[in-house]
A and B are shown apart, each in its own frame.
Chain A
Amino acid sequence: MSIDSSSLLNRRSFIVKSAVLAGVGVGLASCSRAEESSEPVAATPADTAASEAASTGASISAVFVGSLAGFPFWNQIELGARNAGEDFADLEIQWTAPTTYTGTGQIVQFSEAAVATKPKAVALNYVGPEMDACITTALDQGTAVQLYNNFAAATQSKDPRIAALAITASGLDKDALCKLSATQFAESVAVGDELVFFNQLPGTPEWDGIQNAYIAGFESLGWKKDQIKVNPATLDPAENLQIIESYLTANPNTKGIICADVTSGGPAVKAKEKLGLDLPLITWNLEDSTFADVERGAITQNVNQQPYLQSYFAVANMYMILKYGFVAPPYVDPGTLLITAANVAAVQSQFEQGIAG
């Protein structure tokens, strides 16, 4: 069968025109529906949601924006948020998160997209000042905002409403966490020993924040800044093994290692073993092999941020705002859990239940 190129062109043109018309139609319909459902400007989301829930029994919907779907830490955040959504009967939680990490810009975009749907409330990870515009939009349109995980930098925001959100967040103060971790780690190394921090996402506020918090933590314990070396790593464990092994070969004075994720923590254990080194090691977050590595001393300390609790309490806070109109729900610190050989068994049980990561 032969097809005339002009008829093919006409057919394509028809398809394109149809698609454009359909798009315009759908857009107009959406605008119309949005106008029908728009809220009075004066009402706060808490008022509206509470009255809606009370009068009609309708469920309260909120959006929870994660930062990276499929990652162990973020799987726990998702699970905590979803389980909290199920535990509060009239609350409906919608979860959204990027599937790949391409920088904070993508997290901001997902947050903006969530806010654009005009939910009653939205839970956001405050990854930096670039979140301000999105949060301002949310607050201006009457969407309640709950910060979780990262929030400390929000206190520096020019918008006092955003700064205020930091005191009602549900998450860990990374500066305090890193200082606590460094203090305990100092028992395994001597003050002034050369340490190395492997940063798998250099240049990102989250990772640079953890890196700088560790440096500050060790400085407060008597280390000099240049005694805490920083080396970039990647998100590929196999590549990280080569990077860490090469680093330790080139820097035999290294006396301790800090890896703030499983993608570098596991490789650090392997690199130490390959080189026959017995160096103290901090890792973050959990994977299957972490427990055995902690038990046999290959990992000195594992930092568990208790992500499940972070998101669970964030949702609980949102519910309190939406259901009862609380203006300033409490700041929730889910607690920094430093896993060592002494307490590893208890956490392993939680991990096997799927509520630790």
Chain B
Amino acid sequence: MQGLLIIVLAELRRIPGPNGCPVNHGRTLAGLVAAIIGVALVFNFLSSGKFIAESTALSVTNLAGPLGIIALGVTVLMIAGEFDLSVAATFVTAPVVAGLVMEDYGIDPVPALLLGLSCALILGFINGVLVVATGIPSFIVTLATLFVIQMFLRILLPQFSVEWNSESGLKDFLGGKLDIIPVAKSFAWLILLGLLLWFLMNHSRVGNWVYATGSRRGRPARAMGVPTRATKIGCFALCALLAGLAGIVQFADYGLISLTSGSDDNLMAIVATVIGGTSLFGGRGTVLGTLLGATLLSMFNIGLILSGVQGNWYFSLVGLLLLIAAIVNSRSQTRWRRGTATPDEERQTMVTAGST
């Protein structure tokens, strides 16, 4: 938690990373942190003090964990200029495969989960290769693979759901809640993965390649010799791996995964990513913004219920948030293209393309 705080503060102060990579999302992150605090206070007032409570913290983090882990992968992919609409199916695939081999073949949880994650990784790799090889827009390719995967899942799991009933140390390690604070372990995994990705994106050559691949359709990156095709395939694989991991974390936590699990996550992960400040056009974004975006969405979900507001308002508010985020995103992008970007933003483009 302390590490996360230092990184957030560093980003808020716009301190460049060691290799000069982009960390200029200060305003977005500051806005999100302020929004989270404001939303918590408003919901606490509306719910007569029920929102700022241990049980609420658990519920919010339980929802934000799996959603945020999926959204982290979506963020990296969107920064690279692509979308993956099949993440909800991948989210189910990994735990279903793991659960079935555990249940039907009595395989230990560790190899079973690794097998599930391998399946997710392969699905992401296939998505990436299809997009790169055919040149078809990724939302079409991944929409198609979504339907194909769903069909396979239906054949694989005719009984609709699979349970993880056996007691195992791994199950307790992945799911449940932390002992010291009222936070779901899935959220702790989200923070840990967020920090790892933040490091990868801001302090490694690969991170620079991802930003460069998504920036200005990858033209400057290709000119500078960045392996944009391999980078995109890698991003698809990472996105699917994280979606599968999110599914496994939820499987461990809840003890059951069904064909309808994560059914809203395809779009909600994109919403969390956009709210977190990632550009719909690629080249810009931050995993920390996504982490905060997923938390904000989950706060709305639980806060409305606790406040006694008709729950149908949740999706209306999500829509409103998305619209605002997209408008801010779009205006920022337009300003950038017209050449009125801040010096930081200009530097980001130059540095990103150049640091290969």
Chain A residues near B (Cβ < 8 Å): 69-72, 75, 99-100, 202-203, 231-232, 234-239, 241-243, 245-247, 249-251, 262-263, 266, 287-289
Q: Is the CB of A236 within 8 A of B260?
A: yes
Distance of B164 from chain A, by nearest CB (Å)? 12
Q: How far is the CB of B93 from chain A (nearest CB, A)?
A: 14
Main secondary structure of the interface of A (DSSP, over half): helix
A72 contacts B50, CB within 8 Å?
A: no
Q: Which residues of A contact B307 (CB under 8 A)?
A: 250
- A242 x B302 contact (CB < 8 A): yes
B160 touches A70 (CB 8 A): yes
User: Which chain B residues border A250 with CB–CB below 8 Å?
Assistant: 47, 50, 305-308
Q: Is the CB of B264 closer than 8 A to any CB of chain A?
A: yes
Give 23 A-B contacts (CB < 8 Å), ordered by A residue. A69-B154, A70-B154, A70-B160, A99-B150, A203-B312, A231-B305, A232-B312, A234-B263, A235-B263, A236-B258, A236-B260, A236-B261, A236-B262, A237-B261, A239-B264, A241-B254, A242-B59, A242-B62, A245-B59, A246-B305, A249-B55, A250-B307, A289-B163
Q: How far is the CA of A99 from the CA of B158 in the complex (A)?
A: 12
Chain B minimum-CB-distance residue to A267: B254
Chain A residues whose CB sits within 8 angstroms of the CB of B305 once the complex forms:
231, 243, 246-247, 250
Contact A202 B312 (CB under 8 A): yes
Q: Which of B144-176 contact A (CB under 8 A)?
A: 147, 150-151, 153-154, 157-161, 163
Q: Which of B55, B151, B256 contacts A237 (CB 8 A)?
A: B256
Contacts of B157 in A (CB 8 A): 70
Per-residue interface assignment for chain B, residues 292 to 314, with 1 indicating a CB less than 8 Å from any chain A CB and 0 otherwise:
00000000011001111001101
A residues near B256, Cβ cutoff 8 Å: 237-238, 266
Pairwise interchain contact A75-B160, C-beta atoms closer than 8 A: yes
Does any Cβ of A come within 8 Å of B259's Cβ?
yes
Q: How far is the CB of A73 from chain B (nearest CB, A)?
A: 9
Contact (Cβ within 8 A) B314 A100: no
Task: Let me know if A249 and B306 touch, CB within 8 A.
Answer: yes
Chain A: which residue is nearest B263 at the CB level? A235
CA gap between A289 and B163 in the complex, in Å: 10
Contact A238 B312 (CB under 8 A): no
Determine whether the beta carbon of A232 is less than 8 Å from that of B311: yes
| Shortest distance between the CB of A253 and any CB in chain B (Å) | 11
Residues on the B chain within 8 Å of A231, using CB:
305, 311
Of the candidates B62, B154, B258, the one whose C-beta lies within 8 Å of that of A263 is B258
Tell me, in angstroms, the Cα distance from A250 to B308 when the chains sit together.
7
How distant is the Cα of A75 from the Cα of B259 in the complex, in angstroms?
Answer: 13
